Amino acid sequence: GLKKKEVNVLCLGLDNSGKTTIINQLKPSNLRLYGPLSDDWKHVSQTQTQDIVPTIGFNIEKFKSSSLSFTVFDMSGQSRYRNLWEHYYKESHAIIFVIDSGDKQTDRQTFFTCSLVFLLPPDICSRRMPVLLFANKSDLREAMSSVKVSQLLCLENIKDKPWHICASNAVKGEGLQEGVDWLQDHIR
Ligand code: GTP
Ligand code: MG
């Protein structure tokens, strides 16, 4: 059949927001993607979310959608590694930005700083790079809705790039497919 188009995606967001958990769910070894799990398989999927540790630097992962073959740069969100982010914008076709929507520390200023970091590096300002945001940890009782998160991030001000926000629960894999479908439709 036709070879899938290869695209690079940069996965950004503060530490502990759930980036690696999301990417792990999208990887093909996760049987969750193929339907409800029988008890026999549950331990396989649990291992995939339990073994996750804070990312050092970044990891490179691959997964496929129906028409694209994704290479994801899963970056560390820790402040000491955030200077790595800018080196990968140039090669990227899209950004996945993950927010911990249950994080009480994630105040307006933090959001503002993050959004500046990922939206305004000088050499990509002019590029029409789709931005997919996950308002992750939607299962937490104190979680903000995706509408609330998009207000805090002032997403309506983004006019030069297509963007989309999905509520997600990365531990259960909920909301991720909607996001990947949107990405697939908006990457050129
Ligand atoms: P860094 O690599 O340090 O930048 O962090 P990260 O963004 O990759 O976060 P990671 O995927 O390591 O997840 C951090 C913690 O949040 C882990 O304990 C995950 O199990 C947990 N977590 C991730 N997604 C969710 C979610 O949707 N709901 C809940 N309740 N916990 C989540
Ligand atoms: Mg990580």
Q: What is the pLDDT of residues 60-76, one digit of tens each?
A: 999 999 999 999 999 99
**46 CB under 6 A from ligand 1?**
no
Angle at 79 between CA 76 and CA 81, to 5 degrees: 45
ipTM score over 0.85, yes or no: yes
The 10s digit of each residue's pLDDT in 118-134 is 666 656 555 788 999 99
Query: What pLDDT does 34 receive?
Result: 47
Q: Would the pLDDT of 38 be above 70?
A: no
pLDDT at residue 157 above 90? Answer: no
Angle at the Cα of 61 (from 59 to 18), degrees rounded to 5?
A: 65
Residue 13 has pLDDT above 80, yes or no: yes
- Helix (H) or strand (E) run with residue 75 in it: strand 68-75
Q: Is the shortest distance between the CB of 65 and ligand 1 below 6 Å?
A: no
Tell me the percentage of the chain whose pLDDT exceeds 70: 79
Q: Give the span between the Cα atoms of 97 and 71, in whole angstroms.
A: 15
Residue 5's DSSP bridge partners are 68
pLDDT above 80 (res 14): yes
Residue 25 has pLDDT above 70, yes or no: yes
Mean pLDDT lowest among 44-58, 92-106, 112-126: 112-126
The 10 Å Cβ neighbour count of residue 177 is 15
pLDDT bin (cut points 50, 70, 90) of residue 159 is confident
Q: Which residue has the higher pLDDT, 152 or 23?
A: 23
C-alpha 68 to ligand 2 mean position (Å): 23
Residue nearest to atom 22 of ligand 1 (CA): 18
- Nearest CA to 121 out of 84, 148, 155, 173 is that of 84
Which 3 state secondary structure label does DSSP give 77? Answer: coil
**pLDDT tier, 182 (very low <50, low <70, confident <90, very high otherwise):** very high
pLDDT above 70 for 32? no
Confidence band for 87, pLDDT divided at 50, 70 and 90: confident
pLDDT, mean over the chain: 84
Measure 2 CA to ligand 2 centroid, in angstroms: 33
